[in-house]
Amino acid sequence: MSMPGPVTAQQMHFAEPLPLRSGAALRDYTLLYETYGTLNAARSNAVLVCHALNASHHVAGAYADQPKNVGWWDNLIGPGKPLDTDRFFVLCVNNPGSCFGSTGPMHVNPDTGRPYGSDFPVVTVEDWVDAQARVLDRLGIAQLAAVVGGSLGGMQALGWTLQYPERVRHALVIASAPNLSAQNIAFNEVARRAIVTDPEFHGGHFYAHGVVPKRGLTVARMIGHITYLSDDSMEAKFGRTLRSAELSYSTQDIEFQIESYLRYQGDKFSEYFDANTYLLITRALDYFDPARDFGGNLSAALARAQAKFLVVSFTTDWRFSPLRSREIVKALLDNRRDVSYAEIDAPHGHDAFLLDDARYHGVVRSYFDNIHADTTGELHA
């Protein structure tokens, strides 16, 4: 096992416009990405990680000057870890529209000379997959050993197998869904309304006013956070524990620990996340629906996929419940695709996909071990 060295974010500039599903195009854009491990001579050991709502390209390791800024999936990815960077060349691209470095709403719109703000074009999961494919093109990676993602990242992994079926050998779709339910969309919509109706949103051009719609973002994050945790884990962690021994009988003071926790999560998020990015990313979630063009028939939609699949869900995830993962599995089986499915009995709700759970990580490790065996000749070429 090699020692993990410090990691560095890299960037690629694209002068050629990226056509988007909306009909608009993103022109003159930059994408940030990180890589871990070494691309082999056959260029056959690349694994693309797709990030979810509030994550970035910084998936694993730490920056030399920020040793505590550890990648968001560092428990899964690294030397000797389930996705082993001693064997695989892992990369993650920060999606356009993000607020973590790739071209996004806070950057200057070349058409107007001022920040895009709410004029940033609506981007979809399919657009992100296209953008990632261009990065792979530049790196000379014709085919991925695997594409991996959780939640919204899992939608991108699934999208890869449909948009570029010949470029993906394996897809790991974790804690995800073939589309959002009405309830999922409803939670996204409330979050968006909280942001958009904050007077400091200024129609999405708040940058010019030197403010951010902090109140709206805080509420949006609090709503989101409730849906990431299971009812049971919230109960186990907080229950009805009071902040003080005595009730204060106030509608605005913090009385219960769960209130303190949620306010903290909301405040923290509102200090680093961009409001326009939040709108864009929740909308990309809403729109993803590969079955739409097939009259709602997911089996027909997935017929294009050629990859082998690992689908993973978590029993207490009520945001993207196991039922939704099973829809993907069934549609793949209808097409006689090679699919493994693991339903992990974990208490943590949707957030489980980010946590270090032995059974979950064991499944992912075994799956990558088999990919390794598949490609040993190439990997050691």
Q: How far is the CB of 73 from its own copies (least distance, A)?
A: 26
Structure tokens at 273: 């996340």
- Compare residues 138 and 292 and give the one whose CB is closer to its own copies: 292
- CA 159 – CA 126 distance, rounded (Å): 6
Looking only at the bridges linking them, the beta strands covering 308-314 and 170-174 are parallel
By CB under 8 A, tell whether 119 contacts its own copies: no
Give yes or no for a contact between 34 and 91, defined as CB atoms under 8 angstroms apart.
yes
Q: Give how far the C-alpha of residue 233 lies from the chain's centroid of Cα atoms, to the nearest Å.
A: 22
- CA 169 – CA 186 distance, rounded (Å): 35
By CB under 8 A, tell whether 330 contacts its own copies: no
> Quick check: is 151 catalytic?
yes
Q: How far is the CB of 149 from its own copies (least distance, A)?
A: 21
> Could you identify the residue written with the tokens 């991925």?
144
By CB under 8 A, tell whether 244 contacts its own copies: no
Distances (CA, A) of 73 to 272, 316, 352, 353, 360: 19, 20, 12, 9, 13
Q: How far is the CB of 195 from its own copies (least distance, A)?
A: 9
By CB under 8 A, tell whether 99 contacts its own copies: no
- CA 257 – CA 237 distance, rounded (Å): 9
- Compare residues 150 and 224 and give the one whose CB is closer to its own copies: 224
By CB under 8 A, tell whether 333 contacts its own copies: no
Q: How far is the CB of 106 from its own copies (least distance, A)?
A: 15
Q: How far apart are the first and last CA of the chain?
A: 19
By CB under 8 A, tell whether 139 contacts its own copies: no
In terms of Cβ atoms closer than 10 Å to its own Cβ (0-12, 13-18, 19+), residue 361 is middle
Among 262, 344, 354, 371, binds its own copies (CB under 8 A): 262
Site map 150..179 versus its own copies, x via CB under 8 A: -----------------------------x
Q: How far is the CB of 88 from its own copies (least distance, A)?
A: 36
The active-site residue, picked from 176, 350, 351, 357, is: 350
Give yes or no for a contact between 286 and 183, defined as CB atoms under 8 angstroms apart.
no
By CB under 8 A, tell whether 359 contacts its own copies: no
- CA 278 – CA 26 distance, rounded (Å): 18
Give yes or no for a contact between 104 and 96, defined as CB atoms under 8 angstroms apart.
yes
> Quick check: is 317 catalytic?
yes
- CA 104 – CA 245 distance, rounded (Å): 47
- Compare residues 154 and 213 and give the one whose CB is closer to its own copies: 213
- Compare residues 38 and 248 and give the one whose CB is closer to its own copies: 248
By CB under 8 A, tell whether 210 contacts its own copies: no
> Quick check: is 372 catalytic?
no
By CB under 8 A, tell whether 336 contacts its own copies: no
Q: Look up residue 12 and give its amino acid.
A: M
Distances (CA, A) of 132 to 83, 95, 294, 301: 20, 8, 25, 21
By CB under 8 A, tell whether 303 contacts its own copies: no
The active-site residue, picked from 44, 98, 151, 313, is: 151
- Compare residues 225 and 365 and give the one whose CB is closer to its own copies: 225
Q: How far is the CB of 128 from its own copies (least distance, A)?
A: 14
- CA 164 – CA 354 distance, rounded (Å): 26
Active-site residues, by number, are 151, 317, 350
**Site residues (CB under 8 A) for its own copies?**
21-24, 118, 121-122, 179-183, 185-187, 189-190, 192-194, 196-199, 215, 218-219, 222-223, 226, 229, 231, 234-235, 237-240, 247, 249-252, 255-256, 258-259, 262-263, 266, 276, 279-280, 282-283, 286-287, 289, 292
